[in-house]
Chains A and B, each alone.
Chain A
Amino acid sequence: MMSNEKKKRAINRLKTMYPLRNLIDEMYQRGVEASKIGKPTAWSMVNWWEADPILKAMDIEIVYPENYGAVCAAFGAAPAYLDRSDSDGFPTHMCGYARNCIGYAARMKDLGEIPPEAPMGGMAKPILLLASGSLCDARYKWFQALGRYLDAPVWTVEIPHPGVEESFREGAYESAINFMVKELGEFVTFLERLLAKKMDWDKLAEITDDIIKINRLWYEINELRKARPCPMHSRDFWSCMNASLYPAGDPKESLKLYQDMYQEVKDRVENKIGAVAEEKYRLAFAELPPWHDLKIFDELAERGWNFVIESWAYHPPKPIDTSQVSNPLERIAKETYQWFTGSFKGALKAKEYMGYFAYPYLEYARDYQCDGALLHPLLTCRTATNHLMLVQDRLLNKLKIPSLVAEGDIVDLKLFDHADTMRKAETLEEMMDHYRGVRREEGLEW
């Protein structure tokens, strides 16, 4: 019993995390209910605030099949959907979330309604499939492929992916923003036709503003984590990120709870309270965690491992001032583009050309003074995997930070090997100790 209690306390969770996490769950349930009783529903890819405010302003309920893939995996419903996708001829090497969704849609088509076994209320039949060109091919090809089962139109929102150096060429920024604004304009026109109603621009401006505020605050909270000891563990980040990443429900409610969280984290910083009792090692985590084995972080915390920064793709953009921009579409474009390119300046200086996904970890490692990193490649999510070897190499060779690779998957939860990871952790500890000395010798500040 004793040891059990000790385990529970290994990570000092934020008190303000709980209400926020509850709100996230509640908003999810409310959304399911609303779309079940006939509110127009869109299935949407995570789009980094590029389309969400527009959909919300048009009163469309949004469900995220990527997120639902994680739900199905957790409830054990995924294997049946994956089998269906396989037997419909989709190659098995493709994204597990996509195959889950394809199987789900196939079954929904057979039944003509939400499959009764679908966990957490299922996903209602959509009037729109909102694809996104950002970061991953699956995120538009998958929705295109759903045409087999659904008659909903697909719209793909564009976000430019310039190269690091190219993004600083004369006119590149203006052109990128212009492109996004024009496309978003087309998107609004399209939605107006789809729903036979007009956009409420004031409402859009307000929602956009709220979301930016949330992201700003969320950013500031994460900035506070640079303190030693780090006041907030990655687990709290993951528990709360959805209120920013999937801005469901009323953003004002989320904003309020993030404010509380900011206070708590700040207090902790002032009182030098860490998320882990004795912070021996500060670590970064890439990308999605092993959802079903989060307890591994408690075990690691007992060894003094504090996870101080994580998951670049789920972090809000670095702040830029768009308050003077009157067109909400332009504000949206600038913020989302900033999310993608926010680290490019540093990357260019460092001659690191994967300015998103890879370079941010170098920046994090330096700013948050990390001793090591835990990298978690996912078998069927190539997007979260492609860059990790580069990250590992650059962290070690440029910043003398060792890292550990532990493989997993997004739907095949058995793949993550807890025992093996714990074994490797010991070796990483030795390396972290060793590289501390190396960094000092090389004149790095930590």
Chain B
Amino acid sequence: MTEKERKGLDRVREIYQDRAHRAKELKAEGKQVMGYLCLYPVLEMLTAVDLAPYRILGDMEEPITKADACLPTVVCPFIRSALDLGLKGKYDFLDGVVMAHICDVGEKTSHIWRTYLNPSYFYFIDTPHTVHKAAQQQLKEQLKDFKKTLESFTGRELSLDKLKQAIKTYNRQRALVRELYDLRKPDPPLISGAETLQVMVALMSIPVDEGIDLLRQVISEVKEGKNGPPKKPARLLVWGSIIDNTALIRMIEELEANVVIDDTCVGSRAYFPNVELTDDPLDGLVYRYLVGLKCPRTFRESVFGETKKDYIKDLESRFGYIKDYAKEWNVNGVILQSVRYCDIHGYEVPGLRDYLDHIGLPNIYLEHDYSEAALAPLRTRAQAFLEVIG
């Protein structure tokens, strides 16, 4: 096995180039691989029944052809791309798929996926919209059922012990991701934003324990600090909808900026929240996946049952963590970005910009089409933004 010979960032690049390679290898060894869409399927439960989770992503470099026949062009191009890959058979190696109610188009795409591709195992988690107690209970009931379906699909028991074990393993991986992100706090950061993104994509393509090993190698390699990025005037936070290709971050980092922290879902959003080990492990999982995950697809009020809305307080409760990131990573500018047609992120933009203005962080919003060619015009905007803050 040659890939085992490569280590650290070399291995990361290898996986990034050919994401499915390891999953296919595992499959050949008799392991079952379970695809999942976005952040809401509970990975700990998959690992606990010995399934290898594999995140379904899009491919910016692949023109969309087949999805044109089942999703209109005026919807999220990322989700269209992911579905397109599915319809083209690129995810045929998956033994099953878990999807969730992320956004409206994500939900509909889940059903379309099942209708057309009919995988041998499929589960749809209907993630509630609010974080209220009743919503948590509703998610928990679904997870109980999810557990049963996993057991009958695999013929293996999803025991409490194994679930607790899996939770610990994932938390360990999350802690290591934080450690890696900590290496971006110095100036210059020890690892670039584009490379970090590659690491995140790699982690989502291999089993969690292998990811832990890989992270350890990457961290010690990065700490040696030989090939880190140069010092640049701007230290940026990038916020927004999914980024699963390095093109955008690379474009920014070719300018006078380092991307030192992100709030996106192939990044901190996926790895920062931990799971608390509760007596019934499902409680901790529910809390983490519903309340802990900070994706704008979830509705939150600053105070449950408030009868008047204080705008700033509302923004503070929704975006306060971004201020914390900005402080910890010593950020002097924020790039908000979203794929076009994403309502979830689109509605957030003016409010988040209000908040960033309020706390004095310069910011800009870039909208793109999830294609590398379409990034070119954004370059001028990004560069001008850097000149403004520089």
Contacts and interface: CB of A to CB of B under 8 A. Distances in A.
B307 A153 contact: yes
A190 B354 CA distance: 28
Contact of A386 (B71, B126, B305, B338): B71
A151 B306 CA distance: 11
Contacts of B349: 89-91
B10 interface: no
A109 to B, nearest CB: 11
Nearest to A176: B138
B72 A388 contact: yes
A99 to B, nearest CB: 10
Interface stretch (B99-107, B183-191, B195-203, B370-378): B99-107
A190 B307 CA distance: 8
Interface string B273-307: 00000000000000000000000110101000111
A153 B311 contact: no
A198 interface: no
Given A137-B103, A147-B314, A351-B115, A89 B307 contact: no
Interface string B89-128: 0000000000001011101101110110010001110101
B104 A158 contact: no
A183 B132 contact: yes
Contact of A162 (B126, B129, B310): B126
Interface string A120-159: 0000000000010101111011101101101111101010
A210 interface: no
A88 interface: yes
A141 B350 contact: no
A133 B70 contact: no
Contact of A140 (B299, B309, B340): B299
A386 B114 contact: no
A147 B351 contact: yes
Nearest to A135: B104
Contacts of B134: 158, 178-179, 182-183, 186
B145 A169 contact: yes
A327 interface: no
A140 B309 CA distance: 15
Given A154-B309, A171-B141, A390-B70, A354 B124 contact: no
Contacts of B148: 169
Nearest to A387: B108
A420 B142 CA distance: 48
Contact of A354 (B115, B130, B132, B315): B115
A380 B129 CA distance: 22
Given A90-B350, A386-B104, A137 B70 contact: no
Interface residues of B, number: 65
Interface in B181-218: none
A385 to B, nearest CB: 5
B309 A148 contact: no
A446 interface: no
A172 B338 CA distance: 35
Interface in B33-83: 69-72, 74-75
Interface in B123-174: 123-124, 126, 128-130, 132-135, 137-138, 141-142, 144-145, 148-149
Contacts, number: 194
Contacts of A89: 349-350, 353, 365
B141 A175 contact: yes
Given A89-B353, A166-B123, A136 B104 contact: yes
Size bracket, chain A contacts: 35 or more
A152, A153, A351 interface centre (most CB from chain B within 10 Å): A153
Given A95-B343, A141-B344, A377-B72, A88 B350 contact: yes
Contacts of A351: 115, 118
Given A382-B104, A382-B341, A147 B309 contact: yes
B229 interface: no
A142 B297 CA distance: 12
A386 B107 CA distance: 10
A163 B348 contact: no
A194 interface: yes
A300 to B, nearest CB: 24
B124 to A, nearest CB: 3
B295 to A, nearest CB: 12
Contacts of B341: 93, 382
Contacts of B144: 171
B109 to A, nearest CB: 8
Contacts of A164: 111
Given A90-B349, A154-B309, A351-B115, A386 B145 contact: no
B221 interface: no
A14 to B, nearest CB: 34
5 contacts: A90-B346, A90-B349, A148-B311, A171-B144, A182-B133
Which 8 A-B pairs give the minimum distances between C-beta atoms? A163-B124, A133-B129, A141-B347, A182-B134, A354-B111, A179-B138, A175-B141, A91-B346
Given A179-B128, A179-B138, 16 more contacts: A91-B367, A137-B104, A141-B347, A142-B347, A147-B311, A148-B350, A153-B307, A158-B135, A163-B126, A171-B145, A176-B138, A182-B133, A357-B108, A382-B343, A385-B72, A393-B69
Interface of B: 69-72, 74-75, 101, 103-105, 107-108, 110-112, 114-115, 118, 122-124, 126, 128-130, 132-135, 137-138, 141-142, 144-145, 148-149, 296-297, 299, 301, 305-311, 314-315, 338, 340-341, 343-344, 346-351, 353-354, 365, 367
